[in-house]
Amino acid sequence: MAYRAGLAAALGALALAGCSAAPASEAPAGESSRVDAVTSILNAGVSANMGGAKFLFDPLYDNHFGSLAEMDEPLIEAIINGSAPYDNVDAVFVSHAHGDHFSAEYLNRMMAAQPGVQLIAPAQAEEAMRGHELWQDGFAERITSVTLSNGEAAERIEVAGAVVEALRTPHAGWPERHSEVHNITFRVSATNAAGAPIRVMHMGDADPAAQHFTMNSRFFCCARTNVVMVPFWFFQQDQAGLLIDRTLNAERAIGVHVPVQTPAFLEGSDWTYFTKVGEEVSITPIAKPSE
Ligand SMILES: [Zn+2]
């Protein structure tokens, strides 16, 4: 299924159907789901509660490459099966089809276990899922597959009342490494319970060179983001503060993808970063809405 605006109504209807069909939860998830916040899973995995909707970014992976946190079985099963606090998930976003951000097996299992969940992912990820033995053809109608050139943004779609925008920029290591991998930044805009705009962005394994973003200034300039999740190497850039505030147009950044052995530069810094499951940063209304 291609990424297109006409999908919005169908996605919304499916998301609603999924919510109402979900079994009642005994967990205090109702309490936490009223709080607009981003919460760490592991590596680049983040859960975002936004205006009553719940989204997961890069939540499941099967390769820790020896230096990243390893997902344990209870965590994997909770996400796949939708146990609190991963219950009532509306949509999963996959930034790119690398094993430390994505698992064809786990996502196929999650799509089977949670018939209301939407998946928004690069076509490369869908292809990998289709090539796995647990693929079911019925998943396709719940997948929004993103195919973009570098520097190209997709049309907006609506998922569970939120507006989703996608932009492809090069994967870290560009141009020598991973240039064939489609890495997608997702920007999600919603409205909080008080009617104020809130917005988060997740950048996958984006290469941090400012040139990739300045050439996409039209994408970033017109929408101030409250919380952007960046790979921690963004904080090593010269003038990282300006990159985040001005170029990416974000009020605050959270470093993700932090190795188990936290880099010394990060530990001694004032940057916010996630290293453990359940660390939470609240999403506040955007101070300077610019739309
Ligand atoms: Zn990667």
Read out DSSP for 149-173?
Answer: -TT-BPPPEEETTEEEEEEE-PBTT
Lowest mean pLDDT, pick from 11-15, 81-85, 135-139, 201-205: 11-15
Confidence of residue 153 (pLDDT cuts 50, 70, 90): confident
List the CATH number of the domain containing 117: 3.60.15.10
Confidence of residue 288 (pLDDT cuts 50, 70, 90): low
Per-residue pLDDT averaged across 62-66, rounded? 89
Q: Give a yes or no: residue 288 inside a domain.
A: no
Q: Give a yes or no: residue 92 inside a domain.
A: yes
Domain count, the chain: 1
State which residues have CB under 5 angstroms from ligand 1, the bound ion.
Answer: 98, 205
Q: Give a yes or no: residue 44 inside a domain.
A: yes
Averaged pLDDT score across all residues of the chain = 87
Residue-wise pLDDT for 93-121, tens only, equals: 999 999 999 999 999 999 999 999 999 99
Confidence of residue 148 (pLDDT cuts 50, 70, 90): confident
Taking the C-alpha atoms of residue 228 and residue 254, their distance in angstroms, rounded to an integer, is: 6
Residue 265's domain spans which residues? 5-23+32-282
Residue 34, pLDDT score: 65
Q: Give a yes or no: residue 89 inside a domain.
A: yes
Tell whether the torsion through CA atoms of 228, 169, 98 and 81 is positive or negative.
positive
Distance 197 CA to ligand 1 centre (A): 30
Residue 215, pLDDT score: 83
Distance 10 CA to ligand 1 centre (A): 31
Pair 137, 155: CB distance under 8 Å: no
Taking the C-alpha atoms of residue 234 and residue 201, their distance in angstroms, rounded to an integer, is: 14
pTM of the model: 0.87
Let me know if 161 is exposed, middle or buried by CB neighbors in 10 A (0-12, 13-18, 19+).
middle
**The pair of three-digit structure tokens given for residue 206, joined into one six-digit string:** 């984006």
User: Angle, nearest 10°, between helix axes 104-113 and 73-81?
Assistant: 40
Determine the 3-state secondary structure of 27 from DSSP. coil
Q: What percent of the chain has pLDDT over 90?
A: 74
pLDDT above 70: residue 137 = yes
Distance 204 CA to ligand 1 centre (A): 7
Q: Give a yes or no: residue 175 inside a domain.
A: yes
Residue-wise pLDDT for 15-47, tens only, equals: 333 333 333 333 344 444 468 999 999 999 999
Q: Give a yes or no: residue 99 inside a domain.
A: yes
Q: Are strands 250-256 and 143-146 parallel, antiparallel or unpaired?
A: unpaired
Determine the 3-state secondary structure of 40 from DSSP. strand
Q: Give a yes or no: residue 287 inside a domain.
A: no
Q: What is the DSSP letter of 207?
A: -
- Single out the residue of 49, 94, 101 nearest to residue 71, CA to CA: 101
Q: Give a yes or no: residue 271 inside a domain.
A: yes
CA 157 to chain centre: 15
Residue 21, pLDDT score: 33
Helix (H) or strand (E) segment spanning residue 53:
strand 53-57
Distance 152 CA to ligand 1 centre (A): 19
Distance 131 CA to ligand 1 centre (A): 20
Distance 193 CA to ligand 1 centre (A): 35
Residue 180, pLDDT score: 83
Residue-wise pLDDT for 222-267, tens only, equals: 899 999 999 999 999 999 999 999 999 999 999 999 999 999 999 9
